[in-house]
Structure 1
Amino acid sequence: MKTEVIVQLTETFEGHAQRTETGVDYWLARDIQHLLGYAEWRNFLNVLSKAKVASEVAGHAVDHHFVDVNKMVELGSGSRREIDDVMLTRFACYLVAQNGDPSKPEIAFAQSYFAIQTRRAELIEQRMLEVERLQARRKLTATEKELSGLIYEQTGGNQDFALIRSKGDQALFGRSTQAMKERWDVPEGRPLADFAPTIILKAKDFATEITIFNARAHAMKTERAISAEHVTNNQAVRDTLLSRGIQPESLPASEDIRKVERRVASEERKALGKPERLDGDM
């Protein structure tokens, strides 16, 4: 297929994309029908049926990707009538193309187009999740630094910070920091939080923020008082997680945050046209 034809088809498919209020891209089946070279709706319905079966077999809820709708169309006489249509997600369009007539050049193009676009969407989603985890880790670092400073201000020293944080971990996980490091296979000398999933990073940060607030509000002057406050807050967060079916100590470790940070930074350099750095420094 010639480059100019590919460019034209790409622009055509992208031009028919619409977006829901929640930001999900979709195509209408009757538009896709013509874009894929099907003249008759009844013939295209057979392709849609096969695509729905494929979605179900792949473990994806059909009604999440194929949504029946009605729309009004203009007739030659100037009157209007309601016809059936289907809203298709990007993934649904991919399945439709996969189940279409392979002899049609439009189908061959659509198979590649939607496969690439679907994969691109998956990569974007993964990138967003990684950035969210990085932000959560940085936020926890800043909050714990603030707690350390508060302990110094109100008790006259911050040597108790590690002990207070450890007691918080015990309350949150129901086991010691060292036990969780062994469970998550954390390398010697690395913080437990560097391998914690995003939800745990946010849970620890929330509990620490409450500790800071109450320690200031009640002018706590001893390690004992701040520790008790921190334990109470982490226990409360743990209870909330458990009530929602989330057991902190049973969650699997996440990828080393340093690797995630290097990968995200590398992708940013590529996007900006900057050369890779072999030493991996940030």
Structure 2
Amino acid sequence: MAKEISKSGLSVFEQIKNTDENGNEFWMARQLSKTLDYTDFRNFTGVIEKAAEACKKSGQQVADHLVEANEVVAVGSGATHTYASFKLSRYMCYLIVQNADPSKEVVAQGQTYFAVQTRIQEIQQMDAYNQLSTEDEKRIFLRNEMSKHNTYLAAAAKNAGVQDGLDYAIFQNHGYMGLYGGLDAKGIHKNKNLKKSQNILDHMGSTELAANLFRATQTEEKLRNENIKGKQKANQTHLEVGRKVRQTIKEIGGTMPENLPVADSIKSVQKKLDSKEPKKISPKKK
């Protein structure tokens, strides 16, 4: 029988959430594994490893989302035992449920819970974006958002049937072609005089990054909400969303993304901002 996802109006994932002394929320790995119907934690550690790899590929620091910790577990008759475990951020939980056994109903429910809650958190974070004053700060913020959402998009595409690296490259090209008036990744590189080794996203200004972020988030939502299946349908969905974003830009009188100027590498911008931060003064040795 499938595990009930809600009790007393609260999601079971909400019930097992913890909060530290600084107000940061987290989940314990062993408790989450039980909730996701994994009877053997050793099997669940494989899922955690896949999620950690996805986190790394998204440009995030794994240590910010996955921390070794001890966890007290009930072993029966009121007794408890302390085991090695992990503290997980909401983002890491999201990646875990994306890599967990899809045949488990509670896993599918967990995917919905963490996807929705992560999106709410992201909307709240946009307040921080609105307070940024410089183009460099906005670029870095949006580039980080793109890294995160490309992970979500890749998971949604995989669920739709986009399986290997070549499939995903083709899928991504359809999104670019819709947004860039027929230009694929290679065409964008040529149009903007970028080298093959240069990442397109790393040389976008904030306006272009925002358009691509909208493309990625809307495609992910459409793939999931409409339960789209099959590589061809996924590709077509990405193409259509890209075209709609392009049409929106046109309707508001904006500049088409292929005509926006190439920006300096985001890495050099980050180094420049880091150099401006005041250095911490080390205490004098006695």
TM-score of the pair, normalised by structure 1: 0.49
More contact order relative to length (CA 8 Å, sep ≥ 6): 2
Considering only CA atoms, is the larger Rg found in Structure 1 or Structure 2? 1
